[in-house]
Amino acid sequence: MFKGSNVALITPFNNNGLDEDAYIKLIHFHMDNGTSGLVPAGTTGESPTLSHEEHQRVIDLCIKESNGKIPVIAGTGSNSTEEAISLTSHAEKAGANGALIVTPYYNKPTQEGLYQHYKAINDKCGIPILIYNIPGRSVIDMSVDTMARLFELKNIVGVKDATGDLNRVEQQLSKMGKEFIQMTGNDDNAFEFNKRGGIGAISVTANLAPKLCSDFQKLSTSKNEDELVEAKRLDDILQPVHTAMFVESNPSPVKYGAKLMNLCDDEVRLPLVKITDNTKAIVKKALESAKLI
């Protein structure tokens, strides 16, 4: 269903408004360069500072422009269950192939609260749901047992795992089996993640290196030794880019990289700010090392 290199799409802005022309250009850039799936309106897409209308618009545009050629997994999470239901319902009606729903941030629900949050969304919607487990941003960490309970529901199909704990891959594989989709949210651990049972990534770096990330993902799940060696070579090329993307808060670095590649401007919305000159130098050097500029 979902696998390979899925891009956590940035949302281009111009004078603090949505730059639709640049956004459409980005979508086609990915379709032309082997990206497996598009993930609009996630953290990298600055969903916390999108209005509801903008949130729905970037999802609508993504579905329209991709035209069924590759899957669209819409970011529809919220720390309000009712809001998450509303955003997911909209994505479903618009034709999204799935929804990426982050664990509720700030509220700090218990494991039972997490279960009931996702169950409520599951019960009101009819598209596949990926749990987005990212304790570094949401504070809470969904346990493997809670995830297993949720996997029993009709629409819960997998996880974007941004815990950084590679042992989770094997624990989740043991508990839920191979049918449970596991994709990493950490570009830097993607090679080892896939070796342990993962089948892809929802990637920040793919915004800038869609072909490299796509080729790497295809090779990294191979059983062929020569292909795994090539996957490791591509991973080594990508590692400096992965590191540069998180020198400052995402998505400020990746937006600067996109500006260097003439994909869109590096404008971000407060409370995010553009990166410092020191970070600009790091991003530029990383892109040059990967021959992206």
171 phi, psi to nearest 5 deg = -65, -45
Q: Which of 160, 218, 255, 280 is catalytic?
A: 160
| Composition of the chain by helix, strand, coil, percent to 5 | 50, 15, 35
Q: What is the 3-state secondary structure (H, E, C) of 68-121?
A: CCCCEEEECCCCCHHHHHHHHHHHHHHCCCEEEEECCCCCCCCHHHHHHHHHHH
Own/partner pairs, 176-185, CB within 8 angstroms, 24+ separation: 176/147, 176/148, 176/151, 180/151, 181/1, 181/2, 181/3, 181/130, 181/157, 182/158, 183/2, 183/3, 183/6, 183/130, 183/158, 183/159, 184/160, 185/8, 185/132, 185/134, 185/160, 185/161
Give the angle 96-185-275 at the CA atoms, nearest 5°. 100
256 included as an active-site residue: no
Active-site residue, 124 included: no
* Side chain identity, residue 58: V
**Exactly one of 132, 218, 255, 256 is catalytic; which is it?**
132
Q: Which residues contact 267 (CB under 8 A, 6 or more apart)?
A: 12, 13, 14, 15, 16, 255, 274
d(CA 84, CA 117): 9
Contacts of residue 208, defined as CB under 8 A and 6 or more positions apart, other chains included, come to 241, 254, 257, 258, 261, 263, 287, 292
- Token digits of residue 185: 């949210």
Catalytic residue numbers read: 132, 160
